[in-house]
Amino acid sequence: MSDLLPAGPPDVLFGAFDRHNFGDMLLPHVLDRLLAGRPLRHAGLAERDLTPFGGHRVDTLARIAAQPGPPPAHLIHVGGEILCCEGWEAAVMLLPPVPAAQAATKLGVHAEARRAWARAQLGTDALAPYTAPPALFPASTAILYHAIGGIDLDRREAGLRAEVLDKLRAAAGVSVRDARTRAILAANGIAARLVPDAAALVAALFGDAIRQRARRGEPARALAAFAHGYLAVQFSADFGDDTTLDTLAAGLDRAARASGCGIVLFRAGAAPWHDDPRVYARLAQRLSAPPLLLRSLDIWDICAVIAHARAYAGSSLHGRIVAMAFGLPRLNLAFPGQAPAASKAAAFAECWESAGAPGAVTAAQLAEAVDQALVLAPERLAAVARDLAAEAGDGLVLP
């Protein structure tokens, strides 16, 4: 990383760490370390206290902007697929599950009604609200986008796309985590550096604490439950139809028999439209041997379970990146009906993965992909982890 400026006006870290999602909550911890010694504020769209889950106390960006005192030196957008997160999606994911379901049922697919509702919920007219309006802070505040994603930006509604591109053109610096996003921006005249997702640093920065974490609580129970190790498995509620669950169960049974591993299920997000324990319970009924369900939603417990697995398989990109950081075999599950190559996990793997490592696969390809992942040389996986961490550590550049 470049030399940091001395402590002075605060830096604001802005992102979707105002809701329970593993990767979004992990990223600001990494930036906190990279910016150690600088005064920091953590901002989202909603005021939240996620410290009970290992996250941060988060203020709203609008409230931080309105407070007296010196303006931030830097406003840093902290990773994630924020370029394609619409206001409607953001607003629903910030609700508790029951109101979220009620809003989805009431508003259905009516775009204008959803947009008006989102404006009322979030207090902003932004179509892509996790991208900050340049006018919110004085010109002295440098607006940065760090290791962000947006692989579907060119297919999004024209108004949202134009808004995002205008904001990026006004930024002092833009880096992206995959070549697809960089190509979309380049086609629109925006130069972006290619930088690994900041979670690639989790082992380098927090490895000792995560290994200590595995000695107690639910991570320790997972290690004790399976003498020959376990597969850390996660998938969102999108996989909850009976046919997909049947396919996943068959694949996990075959992978468990072939490897001698048990199955540990964990949730990488408890926000609406993320992971659902009821879906996991239905999967467990289909498996030949009972899995262990990690009930903890603490992000450090989740890191510990991934870090001590024989392999990771799931729909969470950050589950994969944490496994990469610890030099473990990994693969992603493409969402049902999605071409695996079209996923953000595949886009990330294209840039940063070891040769031969599976990227994103369908549920039907799960067992074969686990076999493929488990035969990768540990030395090669460790080298990828070191290289990725080195590039991620140099990726945050402050003007």
pLDDT tens digit string along 153-183?
A: 999 999 999 999 999 999 999 999 999 999 9
Q: Please tell me the distance from the alpha carbon of residue 210 to that of residue 300, in angstroms, as a whole number.
A: 7
Per-residue confidence (pLDDT) for residue 227, from 0 to 100: 92
Q: Please tell me the distance from the alpha carbon of residue 154 to that of residue 169, in angstroms, as a whole number.
A: 16
Running DSSP on this structure, what letter comes out for residue 20?
-
Mean of pLDDT over the chain: 95
Per-residue confidence (pLDDT) for residue 7, from 0 to 100: 54
CB 65 within 8 A of CB 10: no
Whether residue 355 has pLDDT greater than 90? no
* pLDDT tier, 2 (very low <50, low <70, confident <90, very high otherwise): very low
CB 165 within 8 A of CB 98: no
Of 203, 392, 228, nearest to 304 by C-alpha is: 203
Q: Angle at CA 345, nearest 5°, toward 212 and 284?
A: 65
Q: Provide mean pLDDT across the span 317-333.
A: 98
pLDDT digits (tens, 9 = 90+) for 20-58: 999 999 999 999 999 999 999 999 999 999 999 999 999
CB 52 within 8 A of CB 20: no
Per-residue confidence (pLDDT) for residue 9, from 0 to 100: 86
- 339, exposed or middle or buried, with CB in 10 Å at 0-12, 13-18, 19+? exposed
CB 199 within 8 A of CB 325: yes
* Chain mean position to CA 127: 21
* pLDDT tier, 109 (very low <50, low <70, confident <90, very high otherwise): confident
pLDDT digits (tens, 9 = 90+) for 362-398: 999 999 999 999 999 999 999 999 999 999 999 999 9
Q: Provide mean pLDDT across the span 297-310.
A: 98
* Chain mean position to CA 73: 26
Q: Please tell me the distance from the alpha carbon of residue 154 to that of residue 208, in angstroms, as a whole number.
A: 41
Q: Which residues pair with 146 in a beta bridge?
A: 78
Q: Please tell me the distance from the alpha carbon of residue 360 to that of residue 342, in angstroms, as a whole number.
A: 9
Q: Which amino acid would we find at residue 383?
A: A
The neighbour count for residue 278, using CB atoms within 10 Å, is 9
Q: Which amino acid would we find at residue 304?
A: A
Per-residue confidence (pLDDT) for residue 108, from 0 to 100: 84
Whether residue 4 has pLDDT greater than 70? no
Whether residue 5 has pLDDT greater than 60? no
Q: Please tell me the distance from the alpha carbon of residue 246 to that of residue 228, in angstroms, as a whole number.
A: 25
Domain ranges of the chain: 11-86+127-195, 202-389
Whether residue 70 has pLDDT greater than 80? yes
Whether residue 235 has pLDDT greater than 60? yes
CB 82 within 8 A of CB 148: yes
Range of lowest pLDDT (77-86, 102-111, 187-196): 102-111
Q: Please tell me the distance from the alpha carbon of residue 267 to that of residue 286, in angstroms, as a whole number.
A: 18
* Chain mean position to CA 378: 25
Predicted model pTM: 0.95
Q: What percent of the chain stands above pLDDT 90?
A: 93
* Chain mean position to CA 304: 16
Q: Please tell me the distance from the alpha carbon of residue 383 to that of residue 399, in angstroms, as a whole number.
A: 31
In sign, the C-alpha dihedral spanning 13, 200, 315, 281 is negative
Q: Please tell me the distance from the alpha carbon of residue 96 to that of residue 362, in angstroms, as a whole number.
A: 30
Name the CA radius of gyration of the chain, rounded: 20
- 206, exposed or middle or buried, with CB in 10 Å at 0-12, 13-18, 19+? buried
Pick the CATH number of 202-389 from 3.65.10.10, 3.40.50.2000, 3.40.50.1110, 3.90.550.10: 3.40.50.2000
pLDDT digits (tens, 9 = 90+) for 183-231: 999 999 999 999 999 999 999 999 999 999 999 999 999 999 999 999 9
Q: Please tell me the distance from the alpha carbon of residue 202 to that of residue 34, in angstroms, as a whole number.
A: 11
Of 33, 55, 32, 52, nearest to 44 by C-alpha is: 55
CB 100 within 8 A of CB 142: no
pLDDT digits (tens, 9 = 90+) for 114-135: 999 999 999 999 999 999 999 9
- Residue 340 tokens, joined: 């695996």
Whether residue 283 has pLDDT greater than 50? yes
